[in-house]
A = this chain, B = another copy of it.
Amino acid sequence: MSGPKLLRKDRPPPKRPQDPDGTRRDILETASREFAMNGLSGARIDEIAARTKSSKRMIYYYFGDKEGLYLAALENAYRTVRDGEAKLETDGLPPPQALRKLVEFTFDHHHEHEDFIRMVMIENIHHGQYLEGSDVIRRLNVTAIDNIASIYRRGVESGDFRAGLDPLELHWQVSALCFFNVSNRATFSKIFSRDMGDVEHQSRLRKNAVEMVLRFVSAQG
């Protein structure tokens, strides 16, 4: 489960009685799950400590207090997801296909990272006040615009897309469709007695999201 980074010093330690990096990571991962599951006030420090290989004292040792731990978990969530997104490559493709790929990728990616979605929801409940103090997160996200901005620019130049749209707003629309798909699945499914998370619905909703964005930016229409 844990691969301690080799090649850092001569001896890769097989079992350390003291393992600051490992302990820190273990706490952070456990806390991330608990916060994503229960929210900031819903998560319990004692519960997190119990699920950790470490102890409550260590949580305070490394993260100061509950809010410090929450912020670390929030940054962790953004980092994990944005790192994954960096793998998307669309440079070679014609703009419409590139945009299609981006939407499909975003849709799938959000779908696969429910904990991230939940953390963002939770942070929005708190009016983004913890995110506010984190330059880390801002940096991670601002670059996420570059991709869609470049695709859009190419699309306008090639005549496939209409001009006058704002890449940030485009990103907003894509996010809305993909985010909502995960964030509101529970209430939506229960209200309408349909499991919106099953493969059939997901495949249709994914197709819809793509069509919606493509038709929106399309030059003809």
Which positions in A face B, CB cutoff 8 Å?
38-42, 118, 120-125, 127-128, 131-132, 137-138, 141-142, 145, 166, 168-169, 172-173, 175-177, 179-181, 183-194, 196, 204-205, 208-209, 211-213, 215-216, 218, 220-221
Contacts and interface: CB of A to CB of B under 8 A. Distances in A.
Contacts of A213: 212
Nearest to A196: B172
A177 B173 contact: yes
A179 B176 CA distance: 8
Copies in the complex: 2
B172 A131 contact: no
Contact of A124 (B169, B187, B194): B187
A4 to B, nearest CB: 32
B177 A184 contact: no
A135 to B, nearest CB: 11
Given A168-B194, A176-B176, A121 B124 contact: yes
Contacts of A180: 172, 175-176, 179-180
